[in-house]
Structure 1
Amino acid sequence: MASAAITPRPVRWYNLAAYGSNDVLGAGSMAVISTWILLFYTSFCGLSAAQATIIFGVARVLDAFTSPMIGHLSDNIGRSWLGRRFGRRRFFILAAIPLLPSFAIMWVAGQSFWYYLVTYVLFEMVYAMEIIPYETLASEMSTDYRTKAKFAGARILLGQCSAVGAAFLPGWLISYLGPKSPDTYLYMGIIFSGLFMGAAGLLYAFSWERPRPPGLDEEEAARGGATLGAAFRALYRNLFSTLRIRAFRLHLGMYLGGYISQDIYNAAFTYFVIFALAGSTAIVANLVGVTYVVQLVAVVLAINFALKLSPAAAYRMAAASFAIGVVIFLVMYGAGYGATSALFWLPVVFAGLGRGALNYIPWATYNYMADVDEIVTGRRREGAFAGVMTFVRKMSQALAVILVGQVMQASGFVSKATEQSPQAIAAIVGVMGLGTIAMLAFGVFVSTRFRLTPRTHGILMAEIEHLRAGNRTPSSAENGAIVEDLAGWRYDRLWGNNPVGGAR
């Protein structure tokens, strides 16, 4: 079995900045889409709420199958000429750059249902082509716990900056073009397409991949190679094999609880402000913009809490803050406050603090999942984890948003209407409140069993070297128990002595 040789290379500030800047695509595009796409479809394109969320859901489902295949290909393309010349991860990033303007063509008003479906699916495919390899680079560029935390922090901090722009930019365009102009969204799409291309270019220029040990590419090629057929088979194999890693299962539960709660909140919030609070798109832009500014502050706090306390403890604090913000929104709505009330900045602050930390913590812990997997399989499978994580995320996100749209449609929501019925407004309020809080509660429950901390990660890495040196018993009983808790396997079954990932 080939082992992954670690060749340390210094990580400079510009490497962190270039890595983080790519989340202009990751967080920026998703902030724009989650805040504005459903409103754009129902207000300027003549689509019903059900049609709009079906487009969103279909694109997510297709992407859910594409992402694991891209992850598998990026794991196995290293032995090809393209992989050797451009990097097995970085080749995909380079190839995606000229395709990123596909984001702009999504925002052309007055087209058919099929136009919006095709253009959305196209962008999702390009997005996955760039983001999946990107998600592996922190583990490629460093093995140190704190350095990986810095990569995650740079990513989320700069991603939140782009999300702030995604919220405020439409407001500025609305004030210039008028609230009834669909060109607002087209210009926004063009501006962000340019930013996406620049960020991907910086990422390619200032990143690298860990040198591959001799013979490892040939060993992995024997397991299936970098063909599309092998990638499709790997989709199912990786899905089940990665879920056999206990820390990854728990991480995935926390990730889904934190992110699906935000999916539900985002899908309903714009409608909540406009119809339940009698607000406007400009008010939505301002509220969302301030939320993302607060999230930026929350990321800084979460970085410190996650390093000094534990990711799980920081997660629970973040979920509580987000839930408090949602509850305050519901109480103020019930008390009859409108969108122009100054008191509405209070729940925005609570929600923003929670959301910012919930965005950072799962991605910070994700960077260590390949380390836990390595002690189980003796291999490095960053691409497989990135693909599976995105597969589960996209499938659940699709179901969540489709459910929101179907509930709104069933309640009598009318597209292009300036007012909605009491039943439709009640459905919007209920979805945003109960749906968001239910998913937060699920994430908090899972977090109580997640025990990856800076200390346990250090022990994990020491035990990996212990096994690599040829030992097959733990260096101490305590260390053995910690590793077994993270891996979910007995110590004598670690280091490839198990069926996980085709190790043996």
Structure 2
Amino acid sequence: MKTRKIGLVNYLAYGSGDFLGAGTTALTAAWLLYFYTTFCRLSPIEATFIFATARVLDAVVSPLIGFLTDNFGSTWLGKRFGRRKFFILLGIPCVFSYSLMWIGDMSFWYYLLTYLLFDVIYTMILVPYETLVPEMTDDFKQKTKFSGARISLAQMSAILASFLPGILLTHFGKDNAISFFYASLVFSVLCALMLMLVWFCTWERPRNAWSEAALRAEEEKSQLSLSQNLHRLFIELNSTLRVRIFRQHLGMYLGGYIAQDIFNAVFTYYVVFVLMQDASMASSLLGTMAVFQFIAVIAMVPLCIRFGPAPSYRIAVVLFGLSSLSYAVLYYAGLSDVYSLLLLVSAVAGLGRGGINYVPWNTYTYIADVDEVITGRRREGIFAGIMTLTRKASQAGAVMLVGIIMQLSGFVSGQKNQPYEVGHTILLILSVGTIIVLVFGFMVSLFFKLNQKTHGVLREETLRMREAGRVEPEKVTPQARETVEMLAGMPYESLWGNNNIGYLNRNNHSKL
């Protein structure tokens, strides 16, 4: 695909959009459970039930939004504003709903409804946003730079999310919930401004650059009835998990991110109830992590280009795993009151977390390329929907599990002093729980073979298939065949729609 000239402003404008994804997620992951149990008097189970309920809703909303963005281009609004960017534009004024979640002393039902409202808005914006890079370019290095800009700016938002609550708690008092409301309001304003930059400085793949198969699919989809479209949605969702490299990608993604969710959910409790320090110290340590996450992302861009995503990911996993274990080691060795050691461990944790954050979102931008060589179509939206669903579902599941375990250990909401067993439970979750999930991601990464070299071969073969409108096994070299079959997970002759993956391919294949 011939792309427009891409400059620094495009990279930065696109990356700024993740102030919504990373910034609000960082603030929510580190503080919302603590906010609910400290300032809203919700029990850990009540608080985590809110997260779980949102995931039930999200099981429908995320794939549906992905499906809509893949098919919205044929509508008048889609042609006028873009099949992806229309939803981003619609969401800009809606991001202020985030601040409604952070008002203290309200009822359980208030917190449930405000969380669900923002969750839907978050999905409506993030799913199409995540499709933009493969829309704008096919080039491996450009995609890596876009991912680097995104995650770098995401880490900047995480730095703000880490330090800001501590600054406000110090100013307004550690027992004043208004600190969190003001922190969320800052993020609401920033997210609205950043999404405006995304709207003005990004673009979608022009229709004249679509393959014949994609254009034919668009025409066929317009002729489907409502029941056929619902059936198609179900098949398309399932078909993503039949793409082997996407399953591997999800394994790495979930291994790294669930580990961080578990860690984030208990870290503030670790500082307050194990170290017996103020929440502002948790903010300081989280801020240190965020600063080093930013440094790690910058380092990860050249590492992924030179060595590939999987080896870079494994380095990051080892760093984060060792640091997670170190927090417990410091406590049991009687050194947890040495602030300099806590800062050092937090810095190492940040380096690992930065790499874990970068690699999966970098590799995600290439998944649609592998899918295209399999199906002959561009389905960025449906993959983005599954990614967003699994991300939010994993976060909610991890936080809910942490809440249940803490309540079973004897945690009492609103109390400054907790039973002795609670501290040891927090340490167990923080160290062992985090490491178990990291090991899973590490093992999956051993099978992930997509890198700059293999992606280049894949793109050459995809261009050949686009021009011919079919596979040409007689023209492919043995080396190229081996590489493409390894990435696609099926014989070369079965590529470019000669299979039953996806709704249209499934129907056409059954007629052969």
TM category, shorter:
over 0.9
Cα deviation for residue 350 of structure 1 reads 1.3
Matched, 1:155 2:155: no
Give the equivalent residue in structure 2 for 1:472. 472
CA distance in 2, matches of 1:408, 1:347: 24
Instruction: Pick from 69, 74, 86 the counterpart of residue 74 of structure 1.
Output: 69
When structure 1 is superposed on structure 2, of 53-62 and 16-25 the one drifting more is: 53-62
Unmatched 5+ stretches in structure 2: none
CA-to-partner distance for each residue in 1:117-171, whole Å, 9 max, x for gaps? 0000100100001010000000111110000001100000001001101111111
When structure 1 is superposed on structure 2, of 336-345 and 21-30 the one drifting more is: 336-345
CA distance in 1, matches of 2:93, 2:226: 23
CA distance in 1, matches of 2:293, 2:39: 30
C-alpha root-mean-square deviation of aligned residues, in Å? 1.7
Give the equivalent residue in structure 1 for 2:441. 443
CA distance in 2, matches of 1:146, 1:439: 30
CA-to-partner distance for each residue in 1:245-288, whole Å, 9 max, x for gaps? 11111011000001000000000111111111112111000000
Q: What code does the residue aligned with 2:146 have?
A: F
Matched, 1:25 2:25: no
Q: Is the 8 A contact 1:246 1:485 kept in 2?
A: no
Q: Aligned pair count?
A: 499
Cα deviation for residue 395 of structure 1 reads 2.4
Give the equivalent residue in structure 2 for 1:133. 128
Q: What code does the residue aligned with 2:191 have?
A: F
Q: Is the 8 A contact 1:258 1:358 kept in 2?
A: yes
Change (3 A) 1:45 1:339: farther
Cα deviation for residue 226 of structure 1 reads 9.6
What is the correspondence of 1:328-407 to structure 2 with a 5 Å cutoff? 328-339=326-337, 341-407=339-405
What is the correspondence of 1:154-303 to structure 2 with a 5 Å cutoff? 154-213=149-208, 216=214, 219-220=217-218, 222-223=220-221, 232-303=230-301
CA distance in 2, matches of 1:232, 1:426: 48
Q: Is the 8 A contact 1:72 1:226 kept in 2?
A: no
TM-score between both structures, scaled by the size of structure 1: 0.96
Give the equivalent residue in structure 1 for 2:501. 500
When structure 1 is superposed on structure 2, of 93-102 and 208-217 the one drifting more is: 208-217
Q: What code does the residue aligned with 2:53 have?
A: V
Q: Is the 8 A contact 2:162 2:284 kept in 1?
A: yes
Matched, 1:62 2:63: no
Q: Is the 8 A contact 1:76 1:217 kept in 2?
A: no
CA distance in 1, matches of 2:479, 2:330: 51
Q: What code does the residue aligned with 2:107 have?
A: S
Give the equivalent residue in structure 1 for 2:424. 426
Q: Is the 8 A contact 2:54 2:116 kept in 1?
A: yes
> 3-state SS of the aligned residue for 1:367?
helix
Change (3 A) 1:392 1:226: farther
Instruction: Pick from 67, 82, 100 the counterpart of residue 95 of structure 2.
Output: 100
Change (3 A) 1:341 1:228: farther
CA distance in 1, matches of 2:110, 2:72: 33
Cα deviation for residue 217 of structure 1 reads 5.6
Change (3 A) 1:224 1:48: farther
Cα deviation for residue 338 of structure 1 reads 3.5
Q: Is the 8 A contact 1:295 1:352 kept in 2?
A: yes
CA distance in 2, matches of 1:235, 1:425: 46
Q: Is the 8 A contact 1:72 1:231 kept in 2?
A: no
Identity, % of aligned positions: 46
Give the equivalent residue in structure 1 for 2:486. 485
Q: Is the 8 A contact 2:41 2:413 kept in 1?
A: yes
Cα deviation for residue 422 of structure 1 reads 1.6
Q: What code does the residue aligned with 2:377 have?
A: R
Q: Is the 8 A contact 1:50 1:402 kept in 2?
A: yes
Q: Is the 8 A contact 2:319 2:349 kept in 1?
A: yes
Matched, 1:47 2:45: no
Q: What code does the residue aligned with 2:484 have?
A: V
Give the equivalent residue in structure 2 for 1:3. none
When structure 1 is superposed on structure 2, of 223-232 and 253-262 the one drifting more is: 223-232
> 3-state SS of the aligned residue for 2:141?
helix
Cα deviation for residue 58 of structure 1 reads 1.5
Q: Is the 8 A contact 1:97 1:200 kept in 2?
A: yes
Unmatched 5+ stretches in structure 1: 1-5
CA-to-partner distance for each residue in 1:404-439, whole Å, 9 max, x for gaps? 111111111100110111211121111111111011
Change (3 A) 1:422 1:224: farther
Q: Is the 8 A contact 2:325 2:432 kept in 1?
A: no
Q: What code does the residue aligned with 2:196 have?
A: G
Change (3 A) 1:379 1:372: same
When structure 1 is superposed on structure 2, of 215-224 and 95-104 the one drifting more is: 215-224
CA distance in 1, matches of 2:147, 2:206: 22
Q: Is the 8 A contact 1:278 1:338 kept in 2?
A: no
CA distance in 1, matches of 2:398, 2:86: 33
CA distance in 2, matches of 1:50, 1:39: 12
CA distance in 2, matches of 1:225, 1:393: 33
Q: Is the 8 A contact 2:97 2:117 kept in 1?
A: yes
Cα deviation for residue 231 of structure 1 reads 6.4
Matched, 1:315 2:313: yes
CA-to-partner distance for each residue in 1:200-233, whole Å, 9 max, x for gaps? 1110011111111488566335336799866654
